[in-house]
Amino acid sequence: MSELFECTICCETENRDFRKITSKCTHQSVICADCVNNYIKKNVFEKQLIEIPCFTNGCNKIMERHDIKNIATEEVFEKYNNRLYL
């Protein structure tokens, strides 16, 4: 039986996809991909940022393009990519 983890943002355990937020993160993945996508979306759409840090307590490693592509939806990645190359 596999252990269920709870996302620290949405508090859901069922059918959560936990991934490293950046390829440089050394901490355990405690935030689901859906919540990370929403975090990226907020930073790109509302704050208009292209340097997006991991928001796990004490980490703050910057997400690289390939990190965002691996987690974000196509719509969010496209908006990020367009902003990146302005």
Q: Where are the domains of the chain?
A: 1-86
Other CB atoms within 10 Å distance of the CB of residue 32: 24
Burial of 35: CB neighbours in 10 Å, binned 0-12, 13-18, 19+: buried
**Pairwise CA distance, residues 32 & 29, whole Å:** 8
CATH architecture for residues 1-86:
2-Layer Sandwich (3.30)
User: Exposed e or buried b for every residue in 44-67, given b needs 16+ CB within 10 A?
Assistant: beeeeebebebbbeeeebebeeeb
**Confidence class for position 3, pLDDT limits 50, 70, 90:** low
Question: What average pLDDT does this structure show over 61-79?
Answer: 95
20 close to 29: Cβ distance less than 8 angstroms = yes
How many residues are recorded in the chain? 86
pLDDT value, residue 1: 41
SS3 53: strand
Query: Does 80 score more than 60 pLDDT?
Result: yes
